[in-house]
Amino acid sequence: MQEPIDQFLDRLASSAPTPGGGSAAAVMGAMGAALTSMVCNVTIGKKGLEGVEAPMLAVRAESARLQVRLTEMMAEDKARRSAAIESSLRRATEVPLACARACAAVIALTQRAADLGYRGVVSDAGVAVLAAFAALRSAALNVYINAPMLRDRIFADQSMAEIDCLVAYAAADSETVYTTVRGRL
């Protein structure tokens, strides 16, 4: 995504079908992953925090991967919208579902960042979890619109069940991370 932020926001605001809510969800998820990496980067090498360096390196490897994955999904949202026009609703359900799974993975990493990260940047772990959870719920909205229209009812029902499960777990997990962050401020 080489597009300037200003231009992305203006295209988001326009009546053009893309970018839309799916792209915004991917950006929020990517910001959650990026802020998790930031907490790791500030923590790694800090005097007195040598004990958490190994887990923080593992978290950073995963959050960096998820940042790339979610950034790629901004482009996929465009494909999704075109696909929807071509009645390929299956892909229009699969892409936000994949986005939601990636955001659930980011939320799990924010718990590590909130627990182990340098105290001076713990609020950034809080912003990371809020962004990732908003992204997950946003992706879920796209599943809720598209899945009911699918002819393949088995895939549709599985997708709806999975997304409901992801939202429920993420709601509980993200509040736990937020509470950890508030407790360390």
Identify residue 142 by its one-letter amino acid code. Answer: N
Q: How far apart are CA 139 and CA 99, in angstroms?
A: 6
Looking at 21, 79, 171, 176, which residue binds its own copies (CB under 8 A)? 21
Q: Which stretch binds its own copies (CB under 8 A): 29-37, 51-59, 75-83, 153-161?
A: 29-37
Q: Does 25 bind its own copies (CB under 8 A)?
A: yes
Q: Other CB atoms closer than 10 Å to residue 119's CB: what's the count?
A: 10
Nearest to 125 by CA among 104, 105, 139, 107: 107
| Cα 91 to Cα 29, 142, 150, distances in angstroms | 19, 11, 10
Q: Does 48 bind its own copies (CB under 8 A)?
A: no
Q: What is Dmax (Cα atoms) for the chain?
A: 58
Looking at 104, 131, 160, 177, which residue binds its own copies (CB under 8 A)? 131
- CB closer to its own copies, 32 vs 108: 32
Binding mask 65-104 for its own copies (x = CB under 8 A): --x---x--x------------------------------
CB of 6 to its own copies, least distance (A): 5
Q: Does 123 bind its own copies (CB under 8 A)?
A: yes
Q: At what angle do helices 53-85 and 21-43 cross, to 10 degrees?
A: 170
Q: Does 107 bind its own copies (CB under 8 A)?
A: no
Q: Does 2 bind its own copies (CB under 8 A)?
A: yes
Q: How far apart are CA 105 and CA 30, in angstroms?
A: 12
Structure tokens at 126: 């809080």
Q: Quote the distance between the C-alpha of residue 57 and its chain's center.
A: 20
Catalog residues that contact its own copies under the rule CB under 8 A. Answer: 1-6, 8-10, 12-15, 20-21, 24-25, 27-28, 30-31, 33-35, 37-38, 41-42, 63-64, 67, 71, 74, 121, 123-124, 126-128, 130-131, 133-134, 137-138, 141-142, 144-145, 178, 181-182, 185
